[in-house]
Structure 1
Amino acid sequence: MRDTCFIPVDEWQARTRRLLERLKDGGEVVVAEGYGFEFERRGRLKAGPFVPEIVLERPDLVRGLHEEFVDAGSDVVLAFTYYAGREHMKGIGKESLLENININALKIAREVADATGTLMAGDICNTLVYEKNNQEAIERTKLMFKEQVEWAADNGADYIVAETFCELGEALLALKAIKTYGKGLPAVVTITPKTNDLTFDGVPYHEVGRKLEEAGADVVGFNCGQGPGTIIPLIRRIKQAVKCPIAALPVVYRTTPEQPNFLTLIDPVTGKRSFPLHLSAVACSRDEIYEFARSAKELGVQYIGLCCGNASHYMRVVSEVYGRKPPSSKYSPDMEHMYCLPDQSEFYKTHAEKMKKYT
């Protein structure tokens, strides 16, 4: 474990300001999330528990995906510690891996951030343990947050993300842990909007944003749960309630007002639930991601990204809408040179004529 006593004071103070300096005066930060689903799609992570054992088994692949997302425009390398909290690890018989997974994930993320000039964020998330008014569950939740926040602070995080909470109570516990044990690091706190109106503990989303801001969150908003098709109205409401920067990181699936949560989406061919193994049947197009990013930018969303289902081609779209030209823009689509589509360049005209009956 990296001991913070060996980090010079001036370096530590600079670290605590990096995120806020980028967001100052309307600045924007593009953030790639969605590591768990992407590694599962690549056959490297078990669906169900979604525990990031790949951090220990194939750190080279974790490093590679960090680099891939940075090339696609992410300003942040998010340590892959999602679902690496003590109680979740204990529940699947992996508690012995807890500290190694967290420390290794943070070190990999720090190395990539240093090499690419990006920010590095620690990550804590919903515990699957928290219960309102259950003091024993609350104490277990506090312990989980405390140790993960301390690991993140001690291993070079520039700020800490607390994400995917369905209840204001758990989000406030996570924020308090960052404020208490995070050694001055900024806190980004995001709620998962499972419905269109209220958290599981009955709080309107705009009120959640206000309460988190009052409790000291530096950025508040939404991640996961809903997709581009339904999350914009929620962002609009929360933005009216707070003064701090807003975060928006939806899933990349086609949620609707009737089915606002991606957990309930139905495969249009089979009629079966798509989550979690058949979500490709309800995935967004790049145009939908473009429209989401455009709307978010118009609303003044400063902390923008994508969550479950994210991939580098989606990330590049968001980055380009936000005015960036990352390295992977070199490979952005150029349909003028797609030989089998009509109305292409002179070079492909003959073949395009042959293909018209198919297109």
Structure 2
Amino acid sequence: MASSRSTERDGNHTSVAMFVLLGLSDKKELQLILFPVFLGIYLMTLIWNLGLIILIRINSNLHTPMYIFLSSLSFIDICYSSSISPRMLSDFLRDEKTISFMACATQLFVFAWMGLAECCLLATMAYDRYVAIGSPLQYSAIMVPGRCWKMIAVVYGTGFLSSLFETVSCFHVYYCGPNIIEHFFCDIPPVISLSCSNPFMCQMIVFLVAISVGWGSLLVILLSYGFIAASILKISSFKRSAKAFNTCASHLATVTLFYGTGLSVYMHPGSIHSTKHKVLSVFYLIFVPMLNPLIYSLRNKEIKEALKRATKTLHIYLSTKKHLYSFYYYYKKDRSKNS
């Protein structure tokens, strides 16, 4: 079982140095089945998101605000998934799923940072779509690359500071035992439920962050789509209005997945120890980062064309390299015969 350390705090108390994660299941056979499944999902998340970032980077046609934001979304999803999946995968193969106090705090910080940054980025992408549809003639003047990168910096900065406040307040409270977290990762609700001191300040900070960043971002998204809908209704041509809506479809699907599953997890804090909560958390943390690049790739004509060009270029490169190796081989063979 987890070890503990003694500290002086209002007398002699024992404070927790290690937490124990119960994981998704306590059945060893099921854990061995889940390991290759979630390993495959994690590898696909890395490959698809990293592939999308590289594809956008090497194609000059995709160096536009929409794809700058999309590559940032892929980077966030990689970090988001990586804050949970490696630890979860290693726990499938261990009998004692212990995590140190500092490692738990670090996991919570990175997970919250990326989650809150994604909220802000989705709001930024919604604003980008509103400008593109509502003010198409001024779009290139408003969404210049320099401004886009500043917006991305604000996204990461907001997520970082918000996560820092949450993590410091969460781990500033006193933990004296029990130290068993009924979850597969260090999330705020199950962690602060173990606190021996009053977690009111932590709960207030988490609440304020959720209202200002989480709900604030959702409000920006809803307002942006309200204006987008109004702009589309003004378009007389059905073909043009359908094209305008299609540019928002992928982002709308991502928002629905992210906020739909996220709200299902965190709007019912009383059920944090239930199996349903764990299943929803898996979808929210593991599946959504894997699905995001697919949602954008399968519905996006420009990305499909860029992928075809990249595949063709790679095929030409490999064919040329193969012919050069063949030429060099026969050239050396011919010289050895002559000598």
TM-score by length of 2: 0.28
Kindly indicate which of the two structures has a greater share of residues assigned to strand.
1
TM-score by length of 1: 0.27
Larger radius of gyration: 2
Kindly indicate which of the two structures has a greater share of residues assigned to helix.
2
Higher RCO (C-alpha 8 Å, min separation 6): 2
